[in-house]
Structure 1
Amino acid sequence: MKNKKGIILAGIIIGILAVALVKLGNPVNMGICVACFIRDTAGALGLHRAEVVQYIRPEVIGMVLGAFILAITKKEFNVRGGSSPFIRFILGFFVMIGALMFLGCPLRMMLRIAGGDLNAVVGLVGFIVGILVGVYFLNNGFTLKRSYKLTKLEGTMFPIVNVILLSLLLCAPAFILFSKEGPGSLHAPIWLALSAGLIIGALAQRTRLCTVGGIRDVVLFKDWYLLSGFVAIIVTVLIGNLFLGSFKLGFEAQAIAHTDGMWNFLGMVLVGYASVLLGGCPLRQLILAGEGNIDSVITIIGLAVGAAFVHNFGLASSAKGTTFNGRVAVIIGIVVIVGISIINSDLKLSFKKKGDVKVDIN
């Protein structure tokens, strides 16, 4: 699946699965949302106590295992890590801050657009702006340094953790928390959701599908390969929603969404910006983790901790709107990531002291 036809077909299949998962029980416009699903899983494990978003999502487990199985099969399982791990953790943390301000990851943003949610169009504009800022720093030498080869055992631990999560979902011991109402209580049957995740993980592994990478590659290389998969998902879900009568155009009364345009925009600026620096969106991080990339595992841990932080400290948006704490966190996130960008790039800030002596700060 190295040509454009392959990624378009993958996008169509993923779009169909997203529509089917909603029909089978997932929340509206949330057939697939990596950020939301990681947040729900963190809640099920007790990392936060927001009772309406607690459920171990088998789709995420399937994506990791699907990528892992195919990477092993195709001899593409390559265990590596050590590329600025704590910075990656911080970037993942702030990706989640931005996503839960907007109420969705880039993939859910696409599904919301395809469902007629115009708030997501505002988010898309912010997402593109964030990517463009990130690309500016990439063009000025931004790097998180090289990664190093690690043992195969290191790479297999994350897939094993996901198998353990699946067993906890199936066994449902008392210490695992499950929502009785709200988005966390809405889900497709376990085995169907897991199967969908396995298919999505395998397709994303073969095509290198990435919502951030699509826009980044058009800007940097005039390469439309990844973006064609992005568009295929939106068009497929749009057709599915029109066929099922679930398309609803407008800003108001959209499912699990708010109408605060500024913060929809800024939330996705943060997501797009941080994801470019990380080298991929949350979906791409799951696939890379399945392929043995330990740096992506660290990023996913950052996403999970970010989700817990958001709900434990009252940062999360809701259908009622944004929160003051959440708005402050988004601004802090943008400032922190600008700092990381400058320090890890070749960009030089210069100013003049008395006597016109120019001073450069690398």
Structure 2
Amino acid sequence: MDLKEERVAIVAAGAVIGVIAAMLVFFGNPANMGFCIACFIRDTVGGLGLHRAEAVQYIRPEIVGLVLGSFLIAIGKGEWQARGGSAPLTRFVLGFCVMVGCLMFLGCPFRMILRIAGGDLNAIVGLVGFACGILAGTWFLNHGYSLGRTYRLPASEGAAWPIIQVVVLALLVVAPAFIFFSPEGSGPGAKHAAIAISLAAGVIVGALAQRTRLCMVGGIRDMILFREPKLLMGFGAILVGALVTNLVLAATTGNAYFNLGFEGQPVAHNDAVWNFLGMALAGLGCVLLGGCPLRQLVLSGEGNGDSAMAILGLAVGAAFCHNFGLASSAKGATPAGQVAVVIGLVVVVAIACANSICKKKA
């Protein structure tokens, strides 16, 4: 496939993903949250009882579907390979910090685009912060940042993560007494599409993202480093696909699928400083990880154990944020969350320095 064909494929996949994300809201997901990797991991760990914020407790089939979609297409294309060993604990810490930033903003890079498609102008502030974080990250890349090489691992290592996803899905379907569900009307966790629809959407998006290597961080990073816009074009297509679908749904149903402005946005706040800093932390951390949360899920489906460690970091970070009052709400950022973001920025900068500038001096 030449570059032109690759760009067309990425744009087409992005448009399909944008439509699917918007339609998930139509089928029951929270507004402007057809997909949100950070929010859905948070909901899932809540469903498993790792935090007790009852407004956000539901095992999200979309997360399972993303991993399984990537896994199945990678197997089919002969691209699946168990690998890992590239600073797994560091990746765990980076994932933790990325989640702190995302829950300050109330969304991952994927949801940031969907929030813009729903008319939420606060997400544009987040986008600026995200781009600044990536810009800082590319500076470290240019100065030799690396977490080291990965190594081939036994197939059982790579297969463990998809198997875990199947077990989590079974827990959702069987719903034993120790699994938590947000009470009706309590918050975002109580809003969800049917399991089959959510799972199918996740599988399709996971397969498309695996084939096209879609990554919001990679798109901005590649544009800065190489002036290559193809991945960024994919997220532009997600924006257009979701925006058009939202406008069509608003016109045909009479419901508010599109609301242009800063005020009254669903599951969002309008504190510009902390929207900016939260996504700056997420952007910098994702560059150091080598991809956004969506990309980490896709890589984990391909057999990458290091990405699975990053996702575990995201999961523990989500539980920590809700257990200790770090996550924002529609009322704005919490004081503890503000402190956590500042600490997170210090930690990721320290990791970046230790694995670039300091490594060179040593």
- TM-score of the superposed pair, with normalisation by structure 2: 0.95
Distance 2:361 2:158 in 1: 39
* Matches for 1:172-187 after TM superposition, within 5 Å: 172-180=175-183, 181-187=186-192
Once the two structures are superposed, residues 36-93 of structure 1 have per-residue CA deviations (whole angstroms, 9 ceiling, x without a partner) of 0000000011110000000000001000000000111111001111101111000000
AA aligned to 1:132 is L
Residue from 329, 335, 339 that aligns with 1:324:
335
Distance 2:27 2:249 in 1: 13
Distance 2:147 2:175 in 1: 39
Q: Does 1:249 align with 2:260?
A: yes
Aligned to 2:353: 342
Residue from 90, 97, 101 that aligns with 1:94:
97
Residue from 143, 149, 152 that aligns with 1:149:
152
Q: Does 1:27 align with 2:30?
A: yes
Distance 1:216 1:95 in 2: 17
Identical columns (%):
63
Runs of 5+ in structure 1 lacking a partner?
349-359
* Matches for 1:133-282 after TM superposition, within 5 Å: 133-180=136-183, 181-245=186-250, 246-282=257-293
AA aligned to 1:159 is P
Superposed displacement of residue 346, structure 1: 3.4
* Matches for 1:57-68 after TM superposition, within 5 Å: 57-68=60-71
Runs of 5+ in structure 2 lacking a partner?
251-256
Paired residue total: 351
AA aligned to 2:277 is L
Once the two structures are superposed, residues 5-39 of structure 1 have per-residue CA deviations (whole angstroms, 9 ceiling, x without a partner) of 10111001101100110000000000000000000
Residue from 114, 119, 133 that aligns with 1:111:
114
CA contact (8 A) 1:63 1:202 kept: yes
CA RMSD of aligned residues (A): 1.1
1:52 alignment partner, SS class: helix
Superposed displacement of residue 361, structure 1: 5.4
CA contact (8 A) 1:141 1:347 kept: no
Once the two structures are superposed, residues 182-225 of structure 1 have per-residue CA deviations (whole angstroms, 9 ceiling, x without a partner) of 10000000001100000000000000000110000000111111
Distance 2:357 2:77 in 1: 37
Distance 1:21 1:209 in 2: 20
AA aligned to 2:132 is V
CA contact (8 A) 1:92 1:300 kept: yes
Distance 2:160 2:244 in 1: 39
Q: Which has the larger radius of gyration?
A: 1
CA contact (8 A) 1:140 1:347 kept: no
Residue from 291, 294, 309 that aligns with 1:283:
294
Residue from 9, 16, 20 that aligns with 2:19:
16
1:109 alignment partner, SS class: helix
AA aligned to 1:296 is S
AA aligned to 1:217 is D
Once the two structures are superposed, residues 297-349 of structure 1 have per-residue CA deviations (whole angstroms, 9 ceiling, x without a partner) of 0000000000000000010100011100000000000011111111100369x
Residue from 293, 302, 307 that aligns with 2:313:
302
Runs of 4+ aligned structure 1 residues displaced above 6 Å come to none
Distance 1:79 1:45 in 2: 27
Superposed displacement of residue 100, structure 1: 0.2
Superposed displacement of residue 243, structure 1: 1.4
- Between Structure 1 and Structure 2, the one with more helix by share is 2
Aligned to 2:326: 315
